[in-house]
A and B are shown apart, each in its own frame.
Chain A
């Protein structure tokens, strides 16, 4: 359904644009690309001839192959160049750092559990290499192909989310995994990208309606409909009893909707409702009350395995001190922090590399977010802007929530640390996202000054 609608719209747009494309400087836009013509970008001023001034932004990237006009008469140009190198460096730094920490953290656990100290690191490196290949591959794809691919991806994700409820492998109370024999994966991980792309795609189609001055119309298109999409996804994940997944999904959705121009008044209302709901749940359910108490006073519940994990994680971080006990010298990874290569890997970072190392991880993520948002800002159209923002938000939110859990700044829920936590399919999907981000980074718009 979506597809058709979208296609119709697209065809209209693109046909118009192709006609206007005559003034492209390089004129290297292929037939394919003409079909994938960019959407018009709103502008207030009149366009003029593109000048070489456009290059200083990508000074060193002399290979910039094309600069095309976004729209005749617009003051914005689409510039196609190579991928954003600072972002690539940050990604490589994170994955290298992460892999080293997986090795260090998993060493003892792997020896104990798998009788092979290298079990996890071998697999992590393999997945990382495959992931990097995926990333570079995807980064070469024009993001507009990805945009066109979005409805299908979202539909499949949605189907998988439904499927997991039926076919999923139970892990305690929660049912999150689909086991394909060769490997298992979490549909919710796939859906994170799906939701980001879906919202971006949606806004790229409904921009006029969102921007309208009519309050209700704007609210409906800019806030309610996307919220409904988010809600459907969240409910499906909540049905998996996957609290952390639901929260992250919700947060990602909110960030995208916020940046896309959702009405603030509804955010205010939603926040109020959210806080009220949480308060009500805490007040009226013993379970939540107890969870809160456990969070606030973990030392009183140390017998519970989850709390044990939190406490041991805190001890690990705390024992690191300023410079840490040294890479590889964590004491807590010796089965005290169970599965230290997973959600609590940050605790091992904190122990081995101390405050300096722990802050370095946060700083790296902040640089990642900053660079990701720069890519979003430079992105040539609504879809690319929002997709970049959403991917960055997904990584950022997950990283900060993970660190918040490990430092007991929020109650313990299973959230992995991107680039650091061990996890095959999650890593592949992360690199897929990075591929999309880098793909977007190849395109930027330039505004005449």
Chain B
């Protein structure tokens, strides 16, 4: 009996041991799997969306933000009869502008509890829906759900840079580049649901707060962006760019991108709708709407429209690169500002003749002059003195061999020679910016190095990431890597370049009152079959003596008669600089020469004595004509505040006798405004002043030199009748600049 009892005990122990093993398997080995099943089936996880960060410009204007919208959905399962179906469909159709049939079909899906009728409904419409729900007691049939929508307040400004938020994150631009930081981490609200799908006691609830996304404070300035985009649009239209235009404004010291634009900014709130030229291309394709080819083309065009040309496209920088060649030459001592070089119209390099854009040659002249005239052989000679190895080292140091590392997606790398294939011919062509390709941002970054006194910088768009409490989390400014050119050389170079603006091929980049250092460039598109295709571009920085901003405008495939960068880009760069520096409160400083030829701002002479006015005008060097009898002036033309050129200026003063009781009156002589567009500026001035008008000239300086600048625009359209003495503003522009 005792032994058998022991056997029973043993049997129990064995059985218990087996169960222990089973427990171990279930609870320890298969624990994760079982836990997962429990959680999957039992826990209802509600995601609390982390709020996406806002994108600000540097003035804390919201470029991209979240706005509250509503989703309207119905629960067909809760609609009892057809009468209700019809009523709901009809009312919702009215409020939401959704076809009646679409809604009615959804109401027929009897088993569904959530059929979306319309998403991203604004608050006003949502209120109407709410009213409908309350009025007819549709609380179980119609629902409103708060959702969020990305809203881009500036619509088409900096569209390619800001980017767009698609359903799965940013699609391009900053929204893509900083997607992770902007997104944040979603929170969770885990509520337990029992088998009947009812809430379980709250002790099972777990709330994990969302970590809201960081906001971006960008370096962009929407005012500068607007200035830049206006000029890009102007040059695009006036010079018939075949492959679009782009431009950048950069802070020369930090590399902060103040504005960056590619023409044809589309509305970021509707980025899938083609605009401008892209829409036209689709239309002109004459493909059947919604056919496969049509859709393929459409998407292709949408992607090109989204493309940020400034960082994703490469081009041969052409003569704008001569700044770099010159900097290397000056820095290495291969050349000085006063070195004398000779241009015979071509240069013989390793058995190959490479010609200058001026076939006759620039003759023997100083290096400064030749750079200002954008002479190719001069550059080749300097490069030869520098030597391939040193040239290559500097080429690399200026950042042409690597991406700039700007914080924007899809940055293209330049297309370059390899060092082993970089011989004298390659160096000769490279010295004036051909046979290699760079991105606009790369080119302007290199120019900034010259502008800021020789420091290599990294361009960037995001100044800082800030959390939802406004604390700065990450700062975007990169420290200057190193100085590769001495500040003396840079200053010297800036002076030479400024000279080129006053009296060189960069004349169109002139801005009255600001010292501008600029270099224009026109490059062949040697990888295209069409040999007439050009890229016209201009780089500039200002003020030349203490640079603040650098500007680049690149016009890809200008389609007009004149394709040189000095014509298709430089005037627009000048206007960008003019407006930008004005906006940035950089004071103007005029040279004596400028002051002399400058326009005169009319003071208010009304109420003044004729004698005083005459004295004032004489002092300023202006002619005047007094009409009427008397000692006091009651009217004047040009009006107070108007600008007029001192040259040939004639002021009409209307005088009366304050003692007499007669009302002062006079007859003004009217003249018809002639068409002076296309005329030489000097000729236009003569034509207009002969008619008795006053003239105000804007645009490039030195319009009387060379073959002369032309009038590219006049403020009053031809045929208008105006009183004599009125001011007509002319825009002058040089069309004779060659800068290849």
Contact = CB atoms under 8 A, between A and B. Distances in A.
A318 B30 contact: yes
Size bin of chain A's contact surface = 35 or more
A376 interface: yes
Given A319-B35, A335-B195, A366-B16, A355 B5 contact: no
A329 interface: yes
Nearest to B31: A321
Interface string A408-424: 11000000000000000
Contacts of B26: 314, 317-318, 350, 407
A22 to B, nearest CB: 29
B479 interface: no
A407 B194 CA distance: 22
Q: Is the interface of B mostly helix, strand, loop or mixed?
A: helix
A318 B192 contact: no
Contact of A409 (B12, B19, B196): B19
A317 B23 CA distance: 8
Interface string A349-378: 010001100110010011001100100110
B12 A396 contact: yes
A354 B28 CA distance: 9
B24 A334 contact: no
Contacts of A131: none
Contacts, number: 123
B8 A404 contact: no
Q: Is the interface of A mostly helix, strand, loop or mixed?
A: helix
Given A314-B26, A350-B23, A334 B200 contact: yes
Contact of B203 (A329, A385, A407, A408): A329
A385 B1 contact: yes
Contact of A258 (B4, B24, B39, B200): B4
A112 B200 CA distance: 11
B12 A366 contact: yes
A402 B2 CA distance: 27
A103 to B, nearest CB: 14
Interface in A28-61: none
Contacts of B204: 329, 331
Contacts of B203: 329
Contacts of A319: 31, 34-35, 37-39
Contact of B4 (A261, A329, A334, A369): A261
Contacts of B31: 318-322
A320 to B, nearest CB: 5
B142 to A, nearest CB: 31
B360 interface: no
B9 A332 contact: no
A106 interface: no
A376 B2 CA distance: 9
B1 A409 contact: no
B333 interface: no
Nearest to A385: B1
Interface string B650-688: 000000000000000000000000000000000000000
Contact of B35 (A258, A318, A400): A318
Given A317-B23, A369-B12, A336 B194 contact: yes
B4 A322 contact: no
Interface string B47-78: 00000000000000000000000000000000
A23 to B, nearest CB: 26
Interface of B: 1-2, 4-5, 7-9, 12-13, 15-16, 18-20, 22-24, 26-28, 30-31, 33-35, 37-39, 41-43, 192, 194-196, 200, 203-204
Given A331-B204, A400-B15, 4 more contacts: A261-B1, A316-B38, A331-B38, A365-B16
11 contacts: A320-B31, A322-B27, A322-B31, A331-B43, A331-B204, A334-B194, A396-B12, A400-B12, A400-B19, A404-B19, A407-B19
